[in-house]
Structure formats: C-alpha cells, structure tokens
Amino acid sequence: MFIRILKDCNFAFKKKQTHMRSLFLTFCFCSVMTFLWSQDGDKKAVGVHLNGNFQMGIPIDEFSDNLNDVGFGGGGLIVFKIGETPVYAGIELSGMIFDAETIDYTVNIGGFFEDYELKTNNSIFLGHAVFRFAPTITFPIRPYIDGMVGFKNLYTRTKLINLDDLDQDNNEDSRIDSGDWAFSYGGAIGFQFNIFGNPAITLDLRCAYLPGTNASYLVRKAGSDNEVFDEPIDAFEEKSSITTLLMPQLGITFNLGPLSDKGEEGGYTY
C-alpha cells in the first residue's frame, strides 16, 4: 500500500507546485515594479495600496452545514489609484487550510529504515479583482469599501514527506486528490490605522463577505476523529454546496507612490 502511495505522489503535484510558485512570483514582480514606478520623479504618479495579511475563512449558510472548520491562512493585495478619483482597482490572492489528517510510516528501503509522513490538507485558493473606494481624509483612521469578483478553488492535497531527507527541495512529493472551482463575488469593508508614525505604513483591519456558486469538495467524515485509517484521504468524504465565506483579515498596508501635499490639518492624503 505504501509503495502505491509513493508511486502516486511521485508524478502528481509538480505542475500544481509550479503554477502556485508562478502566481506568487507574478505578484512579487508586480509589487516590485509598482514600487519602482512609484519612485519616478513625476509627482502625479498614481497611489498604490500594497497589503499582506493573515486571515480566517469562516464558512456560512449551506457551506457551514458541511464544513464545520475555520480556515487559517494569508494573502496579498495590490490596488492602483485611478487618476485623481478616490477609486482604486487591482487584484487579491489568498489561500487557507481548513483541515488536515496525518499518518506516519517507517519503511525499510534497502536495509535502511526511513521515516515518512503522509499528510492530507483541505485547502482553498482564492483570486479576486478588487475595486476600492477610499475617500481622501486626513484622519488617522481611513475607511474604505471593496467590491470583489473572482474565483474560489477548493482542493484536497496529499503530501508525502521523507522526514530523514535533509534536502528540503527534494524530500516532498504531492498529489491533488480532489478539486473544484466556484465563481466568487462580494465585498469588504476595512480601516487603515496610522499607528506607526508614518502615513505610508498602516495597520489594516478588513472583513470580506464572499458568496460563491456551487462546488464539490472533501470534508472530514462525521464521527471519524478516533478512527485509524490506511491513508489520510480515507478520513474525508465528498460534499457539495454553495461556497459562502466570511473572511476577517489583519495585515499591514504600504501606501506607495508620492504623497500629495499636507492637508490643512497636517495630515497626509493619497
């Protein structure tokens, strides 16, 4: 059984891993280019909000009937100011893990015992276009409202990890056991707090409400918490429902780009 798992894992996740790394590198590239662009001598350059955050994913409505766990993860967002208006547009990418099951193995390979960990994660990856209304004010607390449209990718991934292999780049193989996509839309409200003494760096408190269309996904079987499984994937079963999420977020936002002149009360505007 273990050899079959090993063979299955060896072929499966390389494309998915490359895809996720490409998304991350694309986001980083856009962020760096935005920063360089914002340093241009033209004082009319657009403002930019660049955010990194920790987040929770709370299933609600029909989604919570099947998935009782709260997801934890993080994400990043970048939005560009449109002209002289208080409107911004950009993208947000994020990911969370809702549940996990792990089984440890000790295998005799050529007379040597090696320790392996087989771990199955229930996860979600989200991508949204973001349209932000952020009024120009000089108060230390700056509110904003976001409109969002995009996708949710709900997937279950099993990783085989060689615990005795010190080469972190080569000691892990993965496979996707289940995956489905859902159209996602909704909005968010947030507040940026100028608590660092620098108006270009703010604490960002945000909460998004994201309904979604129907999708299939795996959840932990009812009453299986104390069962022993041959494979961690056996602890899960397939369900289907709409995919509504409530997502509280706490992060740091960098307000890039040249600042405008100080306001009458000594505050900064963007």
pLDDT at 249: 98
Per-residue pLDDT reduced to its tens digit, 169-225: 555 677 888 899 999 999 999 999 998 888 889 999 999 999 999 999 999 998 777
Q: Determine the average pLDDT of the residues in 100-125.
A: 86
Q: Determine the average pLDDT of the residues in 75-98.
A: 95
Residue 268 lies in a domain: no
Residue 269 lies in a domain: no
Alpha helix locations (H) across the chain? 2-12, 14-38, 62-66
Residue 223 lies in a domain: yes
Residue 19 lies in a domain: yes
Residues 6+ apart with CB under 8 A from 108: none
Residue 137 lies in a domain: yes
pLDDT at 161: 84
Give the position of tokens 């995009």. 150
- Write out the residue range of the structural domain in which residue 238 sits: 2-256
Nearest to 150 by CA among 219, 221, 77, 88: 77
pLDDT at 124: 96
Per-residue pLDDT reduced to its tens digit, 24-82: 455 555 554 544 444 444 444 448 999 999 999 999 999 999 998 999 999 999 999 99
